[in-house]
Chains A and B, each alone.
Chain A
């Protein structure tokens, strides 16, 4: 039964978006479980990250490397850095079992870098488990962009 997400979940999503906007990458990484993963599929309704390529498919190990890279001095693709502004909205609880909660929400992100502005939008799915300083940890996060299979310039900033 789908219902509006309770305030503590909405607060968690807003706090997560803020960490990303403020480029607090390590703090964002810390939201993920030790075996957590982060996925931005290439195809609409993509069922599997292993048999089809993905814009991003990071298990914990790769996500750690991705985040560490974002702090590297020689990061050309982020020189200068992107500034982003995110709105998260319409959070609903899709499933709740054994202390784990699947939350669906909508997001829009404007990315500004040099003189270019891009808009990303879509649906986020979080599998959350209670715990951690922020109230929840992320077991996995899936981001379905509305234009997942379109032509894109390089994507350096996680959604």
Chain B
């Protein structure tokens, strides 16, 4: 089957609807891997994962195995995890520290910038063999930039700078880091890796969806509501039960009070829906009081008040990153196939905050991102059902029109939903999608 033309791809997106092929067609998926993941700024990790020279973590850009590494000059490099000799994957551990990367097959050895530094048995090669050629290397991503510790890479040399690409979403990253008394955060506490049999786009499409919790999460909402609060808790279960109850906020609340804002480039954030005093203000919690005092000591009362008044739930950075600045969680979506997706999730520690606070962050991670979470498992089931459903070839168009007639400019270059359950953030992602996909 010939590759769809730009015109055919453009025909898959209509006002308020998209063709089911965008979730089901392997040919579309291949083009996404080349034109979106092969070109856009893609989140690859956080600087705290590679603190010292030689520190590395394995990461991905689309399906490509990559290595993010701190080079000896202090810069962060993102290099393809492939030996230039016979193609073997060089780095087999998820993380570690290395001065050099040596291939297991014939000992070709690379520096932490990916350059080939040693070729054993180097005799009889043709004249064109050049170990100094940057293409005969663990080839480096041409652009790597961070914003306040969050590292992005792009596989093309030309394109908008990262801050242009992020646009208004820099404010969500700011919010995450500003919350640290020492103005620094670090990824900590392990990495969940969960997967589902569905398309990669479904994940971000769910994370700003204010209409789904009372349907998808009905079972955990009802189970949590019936929970006897005198039952023993270490503190961890209390966080989880409170969070499950919050998902059961009334429909009017979800529609009228949450807020959904979208920005050019496919990005969006959903306002917060929490009113639980333990989860957001934690006013009665000694560790939280200690935290606020530490923040005030470092940043002053006024700045602390400003920080506490920022209330965002998920911030989606298209195409594959979503994070919760207020709750110190981050998720990275890795496409595997048109109908298979992996998601890696991270928790963050606020430098200068009391240690106890991170325990709550971990408990919150378990209930929102945990592979065995009574909440997340119902989301994963839903993605799997969409993955199966769209192969049925029934309704040709997927409806993403809720709020279409009432969305309005937000005065900051974006569009907001008047109804917080507006699917404006999905329509906005498809605008960005089309920008990348229709360009050959």
Contact = CB atoms under 8 A, between A and B. Distances in A.
Interface in A37-67: 37, 40, 42-43, 46, 49-66
Interface stretch (B139-147, B158-166, B237-245): B237-245
Given A52-B362, A55-B370, A74-B219, A61 B196 contact: no
Interface stretch (B57-65, B71-79, B187-195, B297-305): B187-195
Contact of B194 (A37, A73, A153): A153
B222 interface: yes
A49 B69 CA distance: 29
Given A59-B233, A69-B223, A155 B359 contact: no
Given A151-B195, A153-B195, A55 B371 contact: yes
Nearest to B228: A64
Contacts of A57: 236, 363, 366
B223 A72 contact: yes
Interface string A140-159: 00000000011111111000
Interface in B223-253: 223-224, 226-229, 231-238, 240-241, 244
B358 interface: yes
Contacts of A24: none
A150 B194 CA distance: 9
A68 interface: yes
Contacts of A46: 190
Given A34-B232, A72-B218, A65 B381 contact: no
A99 B372 CA distance: 32
B231 A151 contact: no
Contacts of A156: 372, 377
A97 interface: no
A53 B237 contact: no
Given A151-B342, A154-B196, A154-B381, A62 B236 contact: yes
Given A62-B236, A65-B223, A154 B194 contact: yes
B220 interface: yes
Interface string A82-113: 00000000000000000000000000000000
A153 B196 contact: yes
A61 B193 contact: no
B374 A154 contact: no
A53 B362 contact: yes
B365 interface: yes
Q: Which of B196, B232, B240, B359 has the most CB of A within 10 A?
A: B232
B382 interface: yes
Interface in A10-45: 34-35, 37, 40, 42-43
A61 B232 contact: yes
Contact of A61 (B237, B347, B372, B378): B237
B193 A150 contact: yes
Interface in B244-282: 244
B40 interface: no
B155 interface: no
A75 interface: yes
Contact of A59 (B196, B197, B236): B236
A68 B222 CA distance: 9
Contacts of B244: 65
Contact of B237 (A55, A60, A74, A155): A60
Most buried by B among A42, A73, A156: A42
B218 A60 contact: no
A39 B236 CA distance: 12
Given A65-B227, A150-B193, A74 B218 contact: yes
Contacts of B385: 76
A90 to B, nearest CB: 25
A77 interface: yes
B251 to A, nearest CB: 16
Given A65-B220, A76-B216, A53 B240 contact: no
Contacts of A62: 233, 236-237, 240-241
Nearest to B347: A53
Nearest to B364: A53
A154 B233 contact: no
Given A62-B233, A65-B224, A152-B193, A55 B381 contact: no
A61 B241 contact: yes
B380 interface: yes
Nearest to A40: B372
24 contacts: A34-B232, A42-B191, A49-B236, A53-B369, A54-B370, A55-B372, A58-B237, A59-B232, A59-B233, A60-B231, A61-B233, A61-B237, A62-B241, A63-B237, A65-B223, A65-B224, A65-B227, A66-B374, A69-B220, A72-B219, A77-B378, A153-B380, A155-B371, A156-B377
Query: Which 10 pairs of residues, A with B, have the shortest CB-CB distance?
Result: A62-B237, A69-B223, A154-B377, A72-B219, A74-B218, A61-B237, A59-B237, A154-B380, A77-B377, A56-B372
